[in-house]
């Protein structure tokens, strides 16, 4: 049982220029088509159907490659996840056909229909790639590996946008922990990234390096007034240009919760001794603590939230 499949395989593998379905770039697809050719077809297709089948499969494959190149659906290249998705879809369909043990004319029809479906599926995935995953960075430089479908060639593609990824205003209370986060969501999908460097930018425009490493954040516990100022983060790449530059303007506010620790200490009946606030209460009761809180609220004007937390 010969030719239809060899033809299919050859057509898929070799004759799809200038635009060919990328899925043939996946070795698993090539392997599975070989299996179809050598294992399945000889058992399921009569020799006399060959010529007709050959022609029809040829047409179907011709149709498969007629995916027009444009800005919105297909650019001749996709990323690896898209290629995996498309190949998986194709292989699943092919396996489904072979699992049914379908023969003869019906087999040809199913293969033909499947190729048609898969062409549409690939077009959809390719359009989705262009919409959602192609150069998703709004700023900076992202390096993305693409597979060019014509030659099954992998290339690193540079998505260049405006260099500066903007300024962040950060307000933080004294004695709290400061965390400056330089990570943008496309960083994880980018190739060729090196380190995040954080610099302190002084008034006189000079900079000093504060930290450098794979961590996208700069953390400083218990900030003081001396930490107020401008910081710059730079994420490096293997290329000359950095992937991302971001500025942080940090303002350190006066200590927020002076009263909170006092309140907590006051209400903790460590030694059971009454303090002056309990004197105004008529008798000790289970909600004594709450009442004391309320009095403290009136006295010190501490936020209601604190009372709730303290009373628990
Ligand atoms: C700039 O200011 C920083 C911090 O005030 C200081 O350490 C540094 O020496 C200054 N550099 C120059 C060139 O004036
Ligand atoms: C609150 O109590 C803790 C221990 O219970 C103590 O270390 C701390 O100094 C107290 N703070 C104030 C403001 O009294």
Q: What is the pLDDT of residue 266?
A: 46
Enumerate residues lining ligand 2, CB below 6 A.
Answer: 261-262, 265
Give distance in angstroms: CA of 204 to centre of ligand 1. Answer: 6
Give CA–CA dist 30/9, Å, rounded. Answer: 8
User: What is the number of the ligand closest to the CA of 206?
Assistant: 1
Residue 301 has pLDDT above 80, yes or no: no
Give CA–CA dist 217/211, Å, rounded. Answer: 9
Q: Whose CA is nearest to atom 7 of ligand 2?
A: 265
State the Cα torsion 184-190-194-197 to the nearest 10°: -10
pLDDT in tens, 91-120: 999 899 989 999 888 898 898 889 889 888
Q: What is the pLDDT of residue 272?
A: 38
What pTM does this model have?
A: 0.64
pLDDT in tens, 223-271: 999 999 999 999 999 999 999 999 999 999 998 665 555 444 444 344 4
Give distance in angstroms: CA of 253 to centre of ligand 2. Answer: 23
Contact 295, 312 (CB under 8 A): no
Enumerate residues lining ligand 1, CB below 6 A.
Answer: 202, 204, 206
Residue with tokens 């500066």: 164
Strand order in the sheet with 207-213: 164-173, 244-253, 229-237, 193-201, 207-213
Give CA–CA dist 90/160, Å, rounded. Answer: 33
Q: Whose CA is nearest to atom 5 of ligand 2?
A: 265
User: What is the number of the ligand closest to the CA of 267?
Assistant: 2
- Non-local CB neighbours of 89 within 8 Å, separated by 6+ positions: 118, 121, 125
Give distance in angstroms: CA of 304 to centre of ligand 1. Answer: 45
pLDDT in tens, 45-82: 887 776 666 566 556 555 555 677 877 888 889 999 99
280 falls in which pLDDT band (50, 70, 90)? very low
């Amino acid at each position: 049982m010969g030719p239809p499949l060899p033809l299919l395989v050859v057509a898929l593998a070799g004759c799809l220029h200038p635009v060919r379905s990328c899925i043939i770039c996946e070795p698993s697809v090539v392997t599975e088509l070989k299996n179809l050719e050598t294992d399945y077809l000889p058992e399921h297709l009569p020799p006399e159907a060959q010529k007709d089948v050959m022609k029809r499969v040829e047409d179907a494959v011709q149709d498969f490659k007629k995916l027009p190149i444009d800005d919105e659906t297909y650019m001749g290249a996709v990323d690896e996840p898209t290629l995996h998705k498309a190949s998986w879809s194709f292989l699943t369909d092919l396996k489904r056909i072979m699992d049914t043990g379908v023969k003869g004319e019906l087999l040809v029809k199913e293969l033909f229909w499947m190729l048609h479906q898969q062409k549409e599926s690939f077009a959809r995935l390719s359009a989705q790639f262009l919409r959602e995953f192609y150069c998703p960075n709004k700023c900076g430089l992202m390096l993305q590996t693409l597979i060019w479908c014509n030659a099954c060639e992998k290339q690193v593609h540079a998505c260049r946008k405006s260099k500066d990824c903007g300024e962040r205003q950060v307000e933080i209370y004294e004695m709290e922990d400061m965390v400056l986060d330089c990570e943008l969501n496309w960083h994880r999908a980018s190739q060729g990234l090196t380190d995040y460097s954080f610099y302190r930018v002084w008034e006189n425009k000079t900079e000093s390096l504060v930290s450098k490493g794979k961590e996208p954040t700069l953390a400083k516990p218990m900030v003081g007034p001396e930490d107020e100022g401008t910081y710059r983060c730079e994420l490096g790449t293997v290329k000359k240009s950095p992937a991302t530059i971001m500025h942080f303007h940090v303002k350190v506010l006066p200590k927020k919760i002076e009263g909170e620790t006092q309140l907590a200490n006051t209400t903790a009946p460590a030694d059971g001794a009454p303090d002056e606030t309990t004197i105004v209460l008529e008798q000790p009761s289970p909600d004594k603590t709450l009442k004391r809180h309320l009095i403290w609220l009136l006295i010190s004007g501490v936020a209601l939230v604190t009372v709730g937390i303290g009373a628990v």
